[in-house]
Amino acid sequence: GAVVSQHPSWVICKSGTSVKIECRSLDFQATTMFWYRQFPKQSLMLMATSNEGSKATYEQGVEKDKFLINHASLTLSTLTVTSAHPEDSSFYICSASTDRAGANVLTFGAGSRLTVL
Amino acid sequence: AQSVAQPEDQVNVAEGNPLTVKCTYSVSGNPYLFWYVQYPNRGLQFLLKYITGDNLVKGSYGFEAEFNKSQTSFHLKKPSALVSDSALYFCAVRPHYGGSQGNLIFGKGTKLSVKP
């Protein structure tokens, strides 16, 4: 079946540094990828939708300059948390879809836990 | 406002007993409904979905869910629980109209604990 890989699975960084998280579709081409944020004991919140070759669409309240998303190929999307601060510490999860529309099931990555000191 | 409610933070079941994890939703139109499971330090795994058709949907690992339009519910069920079913379960809804495919509205999750 479809597999989505996220890297790194966990990262610790100092405040003010930038962190890049990769999301790869391993055995299929993902025309659309999604980035979520999950706080402890809370649900997933969609941050942005990235389409290959075009700018990401951010959800309301998500700072596009803070969370840079690049979807340069059909198998890779990256999320860069710029100038990270402790409040950015969270579990970031990506998912991928093979269809721009319809009810296809999303395939989720294992998540990346970011801790900003 | 559109929302998904999972009224129970945790459900405890003895192995071999039936289990139910509740989910209700408030979404305009006819939604697409999903159940996902999350094991510790793992991503979400798809269990089942309801798009249209038969209200009883069968999914992975022996799970099933019943769509009840009048009660706006989509409860997850399994006739006989296994210890390995212990995990965090998320109900999710995608409004049928508008928004991106990834714009799922997730419930807060229900922790299922199955004891031997």
Residue B87, pLDDT > 60, answer yes
pLDDT along chain A (117 residues), means of 10: 88 96 89 88 86 87 94 91 95 80 72 95
* Calpha distance A45→B93 (Å, rounded): 13
Q: What is the pLDDT of residue A29?
A: 84
Distance from CA of B35 to the nearest CA of A (A): 11
Q: What is the pLDDT of residue B46?
A: 87
Q: What is the pLDDT of residue B66?
A: 95
SS3 labels along B47-106: EEEECCCCCEEECHHHCEEEEECCCCEEEEEECCCCHHHCEEEEEEEECCCCCCCCCCEE
Q: What is the pLDDT of residue A102?
A: 43
Closest partner residue to A32 among B43, B49, B102, by Cβ? B102
pLDDT class for B80, splitting at 50, 70, 90? Answer: very high
B31-55 CB burial, b ≥16 within 10 A, e <16: bbbbbbbbeeeebbebbbbbeeeee
Is B116 in contact with B17 (CB distance < 8 Å)?
no
Give contacts of B106 with chain A, Cβ < 8 Å: 43-45
Structure token pair of residue A30: 């993902």
Q: What is the pLDDT of residue A97?
A: 77
Q: Which amino acid is at B53?
A: G
Closest partner residue to A109 among B43, B102, B107, by Cβ? B43
Distance from CA of A67 to the nearest CA of B (A): 17
* Calpha distance B6→A30 (Å, rounded): 30
For B17-44, write each residue's pLDDT tens digit.
Answer: 999 999 999 987 778 899 999 988 778 8
pLDDT class for B101, splitting at 50, 70, 90? Answer: low
* Calpha distance A23→A80 (Å, rounded): 11
Cβ–Cβ below 8 Å for B101 and A99: yes
* Calpha distance A41→B101 (Å, rounded): 24
pLDDT class for B98, splitting at 50, 70, 90? Answer: low
Which residue of B34, B44, B47, B88 to mutate against A (max A Cβ within 10 Å)? B44
Residue with tokens 């840079």: A68
Structure token pair of residue B80: 């006989």
Cβ–Cβ below 8 Å for B43 and A111: yes
Of A93-102, B56-65, B101-110, which gets the smallest average pLDDT?
Answer: A93-102
Is B90 in contact with B113 (CB distance < 8 Å)?
no
Question: Would you state the torsion angle of the CA atoms of residues B86, A5, A96, B55, taken in this order, to the nearest 10 degrees?
Answer: -20
pLDDT class for B105, splitting at 50, 70, 90? Answer: confident
Nearest CA-CA partner of A89 in A10, A6, A4, A22: A10
Give contacts of B108 with chain A, Cβ < 8 Å: 41-43
Is A116 in contact with A34 (CB distance < 8 Å)?
no
Q: Which B residues, 16 through 45, put their C-beta within 8 Å of a C-beta on chain A?
A: 32, 34, 36, 41-45
Cβ–Cβ below 8 Å for B106 and A43: yes
Contacts of A43 (CB under 8 A, 6+ apart): B90, B106, B107, B108, B109
Cβ–Cβ below 8 Å for B43 and A110: yes
Q: What is the pLDDT of residue B99?
A: 54
Distance from CA of B30 to the nearest CA of A (A): 12
pLDDT class for B13, splitting at 50, 70, 90? Answer: very high
Contacts of A91 (CB under 8 A, 6+ apart): A37, A38, A39, A40, A111, A112, A113, A114
Contacts of B110 (CB under 8 A, 6+ apart): B6, B8, B9, B10, B11, B21, B22, B88, B89, B90
